[in-house]
Structure formats: structure tokens, C-alpha cells
Chain A
């Protein structure tokens, strides 16, 4: 193969790439924080014996787990503004799709993590006179969260990758910026190689850290 690689155009447009990197980070961070924050109540609702709490949570989780994120983002960008009074820009549409997806998946992580704690722990708190809420906050969650950390990290990694889907509705994250640069500079081979490397550099260190943490958890239990 005698392709002559030429990365000079990428250096020339590095400011555009930098904007993309910042936007990727903004989108991922926002969706992660909101997704984890709302995942807990949704996960707890799925526990509830009351049907009016349990049923909507289950429906929500199933809808967002069983449809592609790409479709969700497109739907929020094109369909949602028409059936609702809200004006939705690319960032909002992408954030909505990714956040709700993260809520759905993280609620399952919370649920599984809480379920993994022995029933005797709830009972010990209850016997001391704790309310159900105190049992959850003082006894169950501190133990469960430790076990959930690897699953949440995997979610975060998945989320960073999924932000690239926002390029289809022209949100200026890394992937979209790369597309723009490659159109201007006619260098898709170099450009997408660099984007792949950037994503790898972003994701590999935390992924390795999770693997290590999981191993150390295994040793401790």
C-alpha cells in the first residue's frame, strides 16, 4: 500500500477539534450526572409494591432499553418539537436521548446492586428502629454503591462512545467536527484515524482502572 499519510491539515484545524472535544465532554458529563441522579429514584420505583409507582418506571425502562439510542436522538430532534410546545436544539435533543437512556440503564444497576445486599441488613436496621428510608441510606446504599462502581464506570464509558451519535443531528461534538474537517480538507482517512485515537485515549484509562477495581473487589469479598 502506498498511501501517503498527511496529518498537516488536522493540525491546521486543531481548534475545531478542540471545540469538538469540549462539546463531547460537556454532553457526556451532563448526561452522566443527570442519568445517575434520576436512575436511583426510577430504580427504587421499580421496587415499590404500589402499582402506580412500579408500572410507569418499568414501562420507561423497557422503552429506553429496547430502542436504539440513535433513534431516540433523532426522535427528540425531529418528532418531539412537533408534538410538544418546546423548541429543541441539537444539544438538547442529544442530551435528552442520552440522559433518558442512561437513566434506564443505571436504574437497573441500582436495582441489581440493592438486591445484592442480604435481606438481613435491612432487618438489622429495621430492628434498631430505623425507617425504611434510613435503612436504605445508612445501611443498604453505602454497601451497594461500592459494588455498583464498576457497572457505573462501564455505563460512563458507553456514554462517551454514544455521544458520537449526536453528530447525525449536527451537534458539534468530536465526530461532527471531524466530519466537517474531512469535508474541507479531503482527509477522511487521517481524520477518522485521529478521532479513533482520541476516543481510545479518553476511554482506555478509566476502562483499565475499572478492571483493576473489579479485581480488587474480588479479592476483598
Chain B
């Protein structure tokens, strides 16, 4: 297996606030990582540092074997915007609030990245866009406007838009948190399908059942550090740390009784 991403001592400050206090993490190609943690634990910030939506304050980021940024004078480290733009093109990101472009049709939304960023021809972009819209099951909505779609459909279009860049790794930042409960499933199915196909994924989510099903590795973050990490069985069913336990208890305080004959999770 080849290494996709390596973070070494990643630190991020927002003014005086230290959100990430030294993250070490290696993600292999094809791996699915789920990040859990209370709000303010730094999981979204960590995700946003991977594609440099936020520029790290300290530490190193290696993507596909290349160290990002340049060593400056006197031990400082520089991230120039012109170096970061091509990195973002190779890392897909899906947001909590979809952020589709409302002035473009569904098809145009998905074409936009390949067209403007990769500079592919219009017909090529159209083919790509159709391919990825079909993949998320929305080829039939190509000519619709985003505002005419349900939240779940909008999020699937956003996934297709990110996929159309044919990224090396996909980041999901609470992709289902803004959805009505009955629409969550279709989006999770789409993400699951990507994981099964061997795409490298990093997922911030509050859906523990989904995390259990899809993750190769679960990280539990607290106070800007990785408190605990391991296989979903270990972290979700028999956590070692007290904080992880209380987080999981809080998330499963109310449950339906298990129906007989079904596998117990």
C-alpha cells in the first residue's frame, strides 16, 4: 500500500486559540478514515488543513509523497497561495451546506471544476459531468437548478462536483449534518460506494453507525489532539479513554430495541 497523506506535528492557531496541538497521522491509499469528536475538538479544522482551506500554523503536510510548502529562512515555513491552488484541485471536499453554485444548472456545477481549473474542453467536461452525475444517481437531474433539488440530492451533486476533478482523496466535512433525517441515507450510501471502490476518504461525521460500517480506522479527537485511534470495533465498541466512552454514551443515549434476528452492532 502506498502512502497518500502524512501529517507531522500539525498545529493550527486562530489568533490566540490553539485548535490543533500537534497531529501525527498517516493515511494510506484506499483507506477510509472517520474523525469523531465533540464540537470544538478540531476535527473539521484538521480536515480543512489537508486541502489547505486553512493554512497550518506549524508542522508538515506530505501529500502523495511530496512535502507541501517551502522551507523559509530561519526555520520558518512558507505556504504560498500559488503552491496551494494545485493541491486543492487534487483533493476533493464536500461541505455541510453543499455550497452548490445557484446560478448554474446541476450539469454546469459539475462541469465547472474540470472546465475552469483543469481547462478541459467543453465536450470533455460534459462527458465527465454526466459520468459522475450518473454515478451518484442524478443523471436525470442534469438540467435542473440546484434550488429545485432536495437537500440529499444537492449533496449528491456536490459529491459529483468534487469527483469530477478526479481527486486523489476526498474529504467529507459533516456532509449529512444539515439534512433532514430521511435524506441522510442516500448520501451515506453514495459515500459508502466510494469507500468500497477504493477511494481514499477522510470523513467527519456524527453518524456512528455509518462510521462503524464504513471506516477502516476511527480517530477520536479531543482538545486538538488525537486521543485514541484504531479499528472501528476497538474505538466504537470498546474504547479505552474515558472521554471517548462518554462521547459515545452521549450519542447513543436513546436507542431503539434491537429487533430479533438482526445483527447486533
Contacts and interface: CB of A to CB of B under 8 A. Distances in A.
Interface of A: 118, 120-121, 123-124, 126-132, 134, 138-139, 142-143, 146
Contact of B99 (A123, A142, A146): A123
A142 B112 CA distance: 14
Contacts of B81: 131-132
Given A129-B88, A129-B90, 20 more contacts: A120-B99, A121-B99, A124-B100, A124-B158, A126-B88, A127-B51, A127-B88, A127-B95, A128-B88, A128-B89, A128-B117, A128-B162, A129-B113, A130-B85, A131-B81, A132-B81, A134-B117, A139-B101, A143-B101, A143-B102
A146 B161 CA distance: 24
Contacts of B92: 127
27 contacts: A120-B97, A123-B53, A123-B99, A124-B95, A124-B100, A124-B101, A126-B53, A126-B88, A127-B88, A127-B92, A127-B93, A127-B95, A127-B162, A128-B116, A128-B117, A128-B161, A128-B162, A128-B165, A129-B88, A129-B89, A129-B90, A129-B113, A134-B116, A138-B112, A142-B103, A143-B102, A146-B103
Given A124-B95, A129-B88, A129-B165, A143 B117 contact: no
A128 B113 contact: yes
Nearest to A139: B101
Contacts of A131: 81, 85
B73 to A, nearest CB: 22
Contacts of A127: 51, 53, 88, 91-93, 95, 162
Q: Which of A126, A129, A131, A143 has the most CB of B within 10 A?
A: A129
A132 B82 CA distance: 10
Interface of B: 51, 53, 81, 85-93, 95, 97, 99-103, 112-113, 116-117, 158, 161-162, 165
A121 B53 contact: no
Nearest to B86: A129
A116 to B, nearest CB: 13
A130 B116 contact: yes
A218 B86 CA distance: 39
Contacts of A128: 88-89, 112-113, 116-117, 161-162, 165
Nearest to A138: B116
Nearest to A135: B116
Contacts of B100: 124
Contact of B95 (A123, A130, A132, A138): A123
A180 to B, nearest CB: 50
* Residue from B81, B87, B112 with most neighbouring chain A CB atoms (10 Å): B112
A121 B89 CA distance: 16
